[in-house]
Amino acid sequence: MSFARRVLFVCTGNVCRSAMAEQLLRRLAAVRGLGLETRSCGTAAESYFEVPPVVSRLLASRGVPPFAHTARLVTRESLRWADLVLAMTAAHVEHLVEKYPEFGDKVRLLREQAGFGEQDVADPMGRPDEAFAACLSSIEESIEALIRNGFMPPAPEMR
């Protein structure tokens, strides 16, 4: 896989983890002139799901401007659009590969692709604000590593 120009993030409801990753990467790409597009969706998203206010506050602290977001369900079309699909958990990867095997070659676990091993990004929904902050820190660390490595897994000696 060459350098990813279109990155799709996937979580469950598409209002927290994948939405944070989308907005954060969009901001970093704009600031650093990376020339890429990013989107997000969820494996069980419904359009009436809303982004929790804590997500907007945390992203604002990272320089992300206010944004409108509608939760979207993952579709064959969204997977076709992407060069790289980054899922938040191994269960998301399994779901995507099982339901859409033709796209399995571009589906990766976010933390693993970033060089942190087979780690899930924990879902903070229903938990205290500190869980959301920890989630965003994990996503931010992963995205920074992905940018450094051109969105490819790091060489074994870099892990």
Q: Is 72 a catalytic residue?
A: no
Q: Is 123 a catalytic residue?
A: yes
Q: Which of 151, 138, 121 is nearest to 11 (CA)?
A: 121
What span, in angstroms and rounded, lies between the C-alpha atoms of 139 and 137?
5
What span, in angstroms and rounded, lies between the C-alpha atoms of 19 and 90?
18
Q: Let me know how many helices (H) and strands (E) the chain has, helices first.
A: 6, 4
Tell me the β-bridge partners of 42. Answer: 11, 73
Contact 3, 150 (CB under 8 A): yes
Choice among 5, 6, 123, 129 that is catalytic: 123
Choice among 16, 17, 108, 135 that is catalytic: 17
Choice among 11, 16, 41, 135 that is catalytic: 11
Q: Is 159 a catalytic residue?
A: no
Beta strands in the chain (DSSP E): 6-11, 37-42, 84-87, 107-109
Which positions are catalytic?
A: 11, 17, 123
